[in-house]
Amino acid sequence: MGAADVVTKPASGDGRMKAVTEPPQIGPGTNDTLSVTDNRTGTTYEIPIENGAVHATELRKIRSGPEDFGLVSYDPGFLNTAACRSAITYIDGDKGILRYRGYPIEEIAEKKTFLEIAYLVLNGEFPTRSQADAWVFEITHHTFLHENIKKFIDGFQHDAHPMGILLSTIGALSTFYPEAKKIFDADIRQKQIVRLIAKTPTIAAFAFRHAAGLPYVYPDNDLSYPGNFLNMLWKTTELKYTPDPALERALNVLFVLHADHEQNCSTSTMRVVGSSQTDPYSAAAAAVGALYGPLHGGANEQVVRMLQEIGSVKNIPEHIKRVKAGEFRLMGFGHRVYRNYDPRARIIKRVAEEVFSVTGRNPLIDIAIELEKIALDDDYFVSRKLYPNVDFYSGIIYQAMRFPVEMFPVLFAIGRMPGWLAQWQEGLLDAEQKIARPLQIYVGPKERHV
Ligand code: CMC
């Protein structure tokens, strides 16, 4: 079964995705223009507006004279730049809306398996029964790692951060599957998509076992995707590991909530690296690197460290005071697109209680809930529209499930893999895409001579 049956990159204009901008819905026939007057020359330009956007290259036509390169837009951090058309994930940050392929996250997070969501994100529709069976079979039968990968993982220091191990091992997979370079062959591409989704939890679990000094546990094909992951992490002497259904379910929800989040830092990295037409393992390794940072997927680790440092509800006001003084940030708060409650945080907060019914209550949750209450009542956070994000509560659940903090971003990476791959594939097949190559505004010395 293939995510797409396109074998070669479509010719310009073919197979373009329909852009959906909502609300307001701006479709074909409702396009408009922008009139811009360049006060340097007095010339007025008509710039087409399409789907609520102007092509940045249109600005290039605005020149102060024949020698002028043309106007460019300057946007460090891409605050107001759309770099692609995408049909995968829709976010309305002001309203706190997140949808995968049109389905609201609240409707699917607790009803669908992670592999169904992965299929949806990659293919645009939920699988039929036979498609789902084939998909689960494929993933389940690609979870094993080449034995040489174990030697590779063995080489890491006992205290190596598992994100570093994950990043390197995913990159190393490209040497095991050299055919992966044929990215415009749909069957080969699909094979690598299956391998990456199937093998990422195995690498993650092996990284964890390596740090713990425990033997690696091989995948168990009888278990679900999250159930098998728990097996590879925690199995000891029992002949057959049986995951706790509540923890298996919680992990499934957490993976689903992380499956995609449109053009965030790691996904953009996946697209940018993929735009050079490298293999998906190299691009995914780069995406893991982007996710590792404390401002992105590393934030859940930082949240738990912060809550541990606060230590008690009575210390919260002092902590908030120092955040407001600019000494440090309130980790797990704020988001580039959500200027409202992150809908994923709301679901995670609910799942936390279910996990605690099995693991016992993590005392950090009380500090987190009180911290959230105080922050959401404080003008500093209210005026800047800073709300809890997905990382605020996820780390507390992971900790209750006995994951060491270093594993938190690794769990994020397992969940995000389908999104990275879907976005990578969408970019490859998009006739409008080119190798990513931003401009710069040169501010260095003019020509000079020794
Ligand atoms: N604590 C205190 N102040 C903050 C915070 C925070 N967590 N986040 C933003 N601000 C303030 C910031 O100081 C600035 O104030 P001022 O206007 O007075 O200078 C204002 O809010 C706007 O901040 P910004 O840095 O311009 O916002 P951004 O959109 O560039 O940053 C962010 C987004 C997520 C990097 C940021 O909110 C942050 O650092 N949060 C903490 C780290 C975190 O939780 N990251 C996880 C993000 S969600 C998971 C994911 O997708 O990776």
Ligand 1 center–CA 335 separation, angstroms = 6
Same domain? 8 vs 153: no
Residue 126 CA to its chain's centroid (Å): 20
Do the domain assignments include residue 183?
A: no
Which atom of ligand 1 is least distant from the CA of 332?
44
Residue nearest to atom 14 of ligand 1 (CA): 384
Ligand 1 center–CA 347 separation, angstroms = 21
Same domain? 223 vs 254: yes
What is the mean pLDDT of the segment spanning 153-182? 96
CA distance 42 to 40: 6
Same domain? 308 vs 399: yes
Residue nearest to atom 22 of ligand 1 (CA): 384
Same domain? 151 vs 217: yes
User: What pLDDT shows up at residue 25?
Assistant: 40
Which residues participate in catalysis according to the annotation?
Answer: 296, 335, 391
CA distance 231 to 219: 7
User: What pLDDT shows up at residue 336?
Assistant: 86
Q: Is the pLDDT of residue 3 over 50?
A: no
Do the domain assignments include residue 185?
A: no
CA distance 227 to 244: 8
Give pLDDT tens digits for 32-83: 999 999 999 999 999 999 989 999 999 999 999 999 999 999 999 999 999 9
> How confident is residue 31, by pLDDT bands cut at 50, 70 and 90?
low
Out of 296, 329, 372, mutate this one to test ligand 1's pocket (max ligand atoms within 8 Å of CB): namely 329
What is the mean pLDDT of the segment spanning 173-195? 98
User: What pLDDT shows up at residue 300?
Assistant: 86
Give pLDDT tens digits for 166-175: 999 999 999 9
121's enclosing H/E stretch is helix 114-123
* End-of-domain residue from the set 82, 111, 126: 82
Which atom of ligand 1 is least distant from the CA of 342?
48
Domain tally, the chain:
2
> How confident is residue 6, by pLDDT bands cut at 50, 70 and 90?
very low
| Ligand 1 residue neighbourhood (C-beta within 6 Å) | 261, 264, 295-297, 299, 323, 329-336, 384, 386, 389-391
Do the domain assignments include residue 273?
A: yes
Closest C-alpha among 375, 176, 369 to residue 280 = 176
pTM of the predicted model as reported, rounded to 2 decimal places = 0.89
Share of the chain above pLDDT 70, in %: 93
Q: Is the pLDDT of residue 114 over 90?
A: yes
Share of the chain above pLDDT 90, in %: 84
Ligand 1 center–CA 367 separation, angstroms = 20
CATH assignment of the domain containing 294: 1.10.580.10
Query: Are the CB atoms for 373 and 316 separated by under 8 Å?
Result: no
Out of 267, 303, 333, 371, mutate this one to test ligand 1's pocket (max ligand atoms within 8 Å of CB): namely 333
Residue nearest to atom 50 of ligand 1 (CA): 296
Which atom of ligand 1 is least distant from the CA of 261?
51
CA distance 329 to 306: 10
Closest C-alpha among 423, 427, 429, 428 to residue 118 = 423
Which atom of ligand 1 is least distant from the CA of 392?
44
> How confident is residue 298, by pLDDT bands cut at 50, 70 and 90?
confident
Do the domain assignments include residue 179?
A: no
What is the mean pLDDT of the segment spanning 376-388? 94
Give the structural domain span for 231.
87-172+198-429
Do the domain assignments include residue 29?
A: yes
Q: Which residue did the predictor score with more confidence, 180 or 299?
A: 180
* End-of-domain residue from the set 52, 82, 112: 82
Q: Is the pLDDT of residue 19 over 80?
A: no
**Mean of the per-residue pLDDT values of the chain:** 91
Same domain? 124 vs 223: yes
Structure tokens, 425: 């594939």
